[in-house]
Chains A and B, each alone.
Chain A
Amino acid sequence: MKKNKNILIEIIALLAILIVGIVIFFYKLDKIPSGFYIDEALPGYNAYALLLTGKDEFGKNFPMFLRFYGSYNPPLFTYLVIPWVASLGLNIFAVRAPSALAGLLSGLVVYFFLKNSHFLKRKLSVFLGAIFFVITPWIILHSRVGYEVSLAFLLFCLGCLFLWQALTKPNRLILATIFLSFSTYAAYAERFLVPMVVVGFALVFRKVLFRKSNLKILKISLLIFFVSQIPHLLLLTTPAFFPKANLWGFESSTGIWDKFGIIRESLSRYLVYFSPRSLFFLPDPDPQRSIPDLSVFYPWMLVPYLLGIYTFWKRRNEDFSKFVILLLALTPIPAAFTRDPFATHRALPVLLPAIVVIVAGIDLVIKRLKFRIWFPLFALTFGWSLILLWRSYFVILPVERARLWGYGVSELAEEIKQRPEENFLIDESRTKATYINLAFFLKYPPEKFQEETGAGIKDNYYSSLDFNSHYQFANIETRGITWGEDIYKPQILVGDELVISAQQAKEHSLEEVFEIKDPMGRVVFRGYRTNPR
């Protein structure tokens, strides 16, 4: 009877998490963030190309890394977008949905991770932890976008859940191996993080793992890991394996960086992922990767975070504490060694141990305070968090950050569609590359795109790091405007208000054809017809 009641309560709790999660992760998914970023258009159009032709935008058959613009992204997310594009068509929702779903599912994984920890004193803390997780700005921002980090995070969380369970049920080591290995095909950070976590786990829990009775499972897991890593091993020596070496923070040491300086630099970057200012008050410094006025956690979470750190320190001899401290120590490393001061997309794996620490703090509060105090307290903070989220994410972000998210390219595609007889020259001296967004919104046939743009890259696919923004397909050309030549050809020049000023237009007798503004009323694109005569 009691068991049935517990199951019922658990089902209700999971349903509540799912309902809150579905609303937050899927509400206006195709509209917010407004616009469509190049990093979303790349997997979107490549999934479309792979679906229709079995080849990516350059004509490469099912590549192991996707070259994109020389970034050689791990392929899993793009391949996962294919069924969504097949069933929903090529649109923004189809590209963002798998990522949003991954974010939602990671809420459930966090629930089971907390439940299986047997660390929390109150069962309710598990539910509170998962519900606060699904409204955390960090996971929401990186799930409601069409790129890979939330998928990698989901796989990483699953891997960690099974890794933890493997201490009592050794068979789970096989599942842990599969998910952790898969996560390395989803995002860069996991490619470097997973080996560290595996080695760290093996060292910390060596007495349990290397028992005689576990050796067979260990051997099978190792074999699975090795086999599943063969694609990586095959490409290990190609430039495609480590294309973002330029992001490595210390490669350009020029004498100023003495050894002491390097230690200080790396420690400061590492410590920033534990800093209350960065975690609870300041957004990611890159406005495209952040929510206005909102950090990765809500400010009130600082209190349970500090209490949680204290709890884990006090109970540091327990296995779960060791595991969480290990994750806390290792997860910021891949992000800390890049140049960005606080890269929330690369540091997304930090979210797992950080939320566990916060939940441990919440658990302590519930344990110490009476129901009539903590219940209204958490109800209030939950409501306050939702209001802050609504203000920053659903009101301010779609207006103020539209331009950064590639707003206006779909409107530009519409203008191009209306004028199939005219040629368009799109200036890219001041904007991010738009070629792939245009191919996406125009649903340009992939076989034609491959034919017109893929030459030269297909044959040296895994070593063509350099990106050239000059593209020519259909009636579109993307590059910087050469004023001495381009005004003498009959075409439409497209750029923002700084690229083509009103004075320049008058001087060169250009005729304004269209104007596209962002939600703040700023000009994103202006099209001018040349007048060669």
Chain B
Amino acid sequence: MGFKFKKDYLGLILLFLILFGNFWIWKAFSFNFPIFILLVGASVLAYRFIKGKGKLLGFLFFFVLIVFSQWKTTSPTSLTVLLNDDIRLRDQRLKEYPPVFIKVGSKTLWIPVAHWFEGRKETIAVFRLANNLSEVIDPNLYFFANHPRERVGVSEFEKFPFILFPFFFVGIITTVGSRRFRNYFLSLVVIILLLSLFGNKNELGPFAIFPYITSLSAIGGERLINKALHFVLKSK
């Protein structure tokens, strides 16, 4: 048996510190108070759910509200509409492809590869979805304001102190494989996919991820600190 704090005091203290000791929550506070309340509530419920104390229904309730607010506050960006610069690039690229064809006997079957890749709306949508997805799953976005690969035309802001990253990493890696947290991670995947769909052009960024980062960082921090204390006490 390793050393452990009595009850869940350490976890709760950590959750409190992480929840209110980051820049993102205070930005939410000044931007939109209901969202602030929602994020605090969802974070506490997410933490309790991981701890096996919360009900799935309560967590799902907040989950739906957060997704709704994220959708309502995000500026809609089309997955297929091309701006002037995109049109120029598309037209340029259409000219770059070599002619692709198959010869069957005397018949030549032309394959419009250039159009498939550069012109079709489905392809454009896939590239944009991938781009949105990549932004949401980048840890540097949350812990380093996207440094050193800041986005052009986006005002990046600090979300969580970078020292929380090891806590978050340990939290995610120690819980992700367990069947107990299947629903929790399933909801995270759904949020990520939805954010990929409607983007995160929003003053607060992809804030629907917030409760997951706070709860997982609190869990990870708790485990790391318990391990460290156990190690220190054992060596004494």
**Which residues from chain A sit less than 8 Å from chain B, CB to CB?**
263-265, 267-269, 271-272, 274-278, 280-282, 285, 293, 299, 302, 309-310, 313-314, 341-342, 391, 395-396, 399-400, 520
Stretch in B10-18, B33-41, B89-97, B213-221 with 4+ CB within 8 Å of A = B89-97
**Per-position contact with A for B162-190: 1 when CB-CB < 8 Å, else 0?**
10010000000100110000000000000
Q: Which residues of chain B are within 8 angstroms of A272 by Cβ–Cβ distance?
A: 140, 148-149
B144 within 8 A of A: yes
Pairwise interchain contact B165-A271, C-beta atoms closer than 8 A: yes
Contacts A264-B144, A276-B134, A313-B173 supplied; 20 other A-B pairs, CB < 8 Å: A263-B162, A265-B147, A267-B165, A268-B143, A268-B147, A272-B149, A275-B138, A277-B137, A277-B138, A277-B140, A277-B149, A278-B138, A278-B149, A281-B130, A281-B134, A299-B130, A309-B173, A310-B176, A310-B177, A520-B92
Q: Which residues of chain B are within 8 angstroms of A302 by Cβ–Cβ distance?
A: 137
**What is the number of residues of chain B that contact chain A, defined by CB distance less than 8 Å?**
27
Pairwise interchain contact A275-B139, C-beta atoms closer than 8 A: yes
Main secondary structure of the interface of A (DSSP, over half): helix
Give residues of chain B (114-129) contacting chain A, Cβ–Cβ below 8 Å: 117, 127
B32 within 8 A of A: no
Q: Which residues of chain B are within 8 angstroms of A281 by Cβ–Cβ distance?
A: 130-131, 133-134
Can you list 6 contacts pairing A with B, beta carbon distance less than 8 Å? A263-B162, A267-B165, A277-B135, A278-B138, A282-B134, A310-B173
B105 within 8 A of A: no
| Complex-state Cα separation, A269 to B93, whole angstroms | 33
A312 to chain B, nearest CB (A): 10
Main secondary structure of the interface of B (DSSP, over half): helix
Give residues of chain B (186-217) contacting chain A, Cβ–Cβ below 8 Å: none
- Which of these, B93, B96, B98, B162, contacts A267 with CB under 8 Å? B162
| Complex-state Cα separation, A268 to B149, whole angstroms | 9
A86 to chain B, nearest CB (A): 35
| Complex-state Cα separation, A491 to B155, whole angstroms | 51
Q: Which residues of chain B are within 8 angstroms of A520 by Cβ–Cβ distance?
A: 92
Q: Which residues of chain A are within 8 angstroms of B148 by Cβ–Cβ distance?
A: 268-269, 272, 341-342
Pairwise interchain contact A400-B96, C-beta atoms closer than 8 A: yes
Q: Which residues of chain A are within 8 angstroms of B131 by Cβ–Cβ distance?
A: 281
Chain B, residue nearest A278 (CB): B149
| Complex-state Cα separation, A153 to B165, whole angstroms | 30
A411 to chain B, nearest CB (A): 20
> Are A271 and B140 also in contact (CB < 8 A) when A278-B149, A282-B134 are?
yes
Q: 5 nearest interchain CB pairs? A: A281-B134, A341-B148, A277-B138, A268-B144, A277-B134
Most buried by A among B130, B133, B139, B149: B149
A300 to chain B, nearest CB (A): 10
| Complex-state Cα separation, A396 to B97, whole angstroms | 8
Q: Which residues of chain A are within 8 angstroms of B165 by Cβ–Cβ distance?
A: 267, 271
Q: Which residues of chain B are within 8 angstroms of A309 by Cβ–Cβ distance?
A: 173
Pairwise interchain contact B140-A275, C-beta atoms closer than 8 A: yes
Pairwise interchain contact A395-B173, C-beta atoms closer than 8 A: no
Q: Which residues of chain A are within 8 angstroms of B143 by Cβ–Cβ distance?
A: 268, 271
Chain A, residue nearest B97 (CB): A395
